[in-house]
Structures are given as C-alpha cells and as structure tokens.
Amino acid sequence: MEIGLLAIGAGLAVGLTALGTGMAQSRIGAAGVGAMAEMPELTGRVILLVAIPETMVILGFAVAAMILLLLGGG
C-alpha cells in the first residue's frame, strides 16, 4: 500500500468529520441559545444536543488511528 495515501486518508477521516461536526454544532448551538432564552430549564438538553455530534469526531479519530496502525504495523 502507498504510505502517502494512507496518511491522507487518516487526515481526511479526522478533518472531514471535524468540519461536519462544526457545522452541525453551530446550528444546534444557535437554536439552543434561542430556546434557552425562552425556557432556561432546557439548559441540560441543549448541552446534550451540542455534545452528541462530537461523537462523530471521536469515530473519525478512531478510524484515523486504525489507518495509522495499519501504516505503522504493515
């Protein structure tokens, strides 16, 4: 396997998931602040909804780690 392509794949796995998560969290955060302005008891739910997309970056990092382990161990 081409080492450079594996490294690019690992970078894309983290970079694209981070980009998607950032876009999702910006929209969720804006809507959440608006909802909390009207109903402060929604604070816990809004924090949870902002944190949920972050799991996508964690999964992207896990995929990148597996790719890099393949790179180093192969």
Which secondary structure element, helix H or strand E, spans residue 54, and what is its range? Answer: helix 54-73
pLDDT per position as a tens digit, 5-58: 888 988 999 999 999 999 999 999 999 999 999 999 999 999 999 999 999 999
Domain count, the chain: 1
Residue 4, pLDDT score:
85
How big is the chain, counted in residues?
74
Quote the pLDDT of residue 74: 53
pLDDT reported for residue 73:
56
The angle subtended at Cα 40 by Cα 34 and Cα 44, nearest 5°, is 95
Residue type, 33: V
The residue range of the domain holding 10 is 3-73
pTM for this entry: 0.76
- b/e burial code for range 40-60 (CB count within 10 A of at least 16 → b): eeeeeebeebbeebeeebeeb
CATH of the domain at 7: 1.20.20.10
pLDDT at 70: 82
71 and 13 Cβ atoms separated by less than 8 Å: no
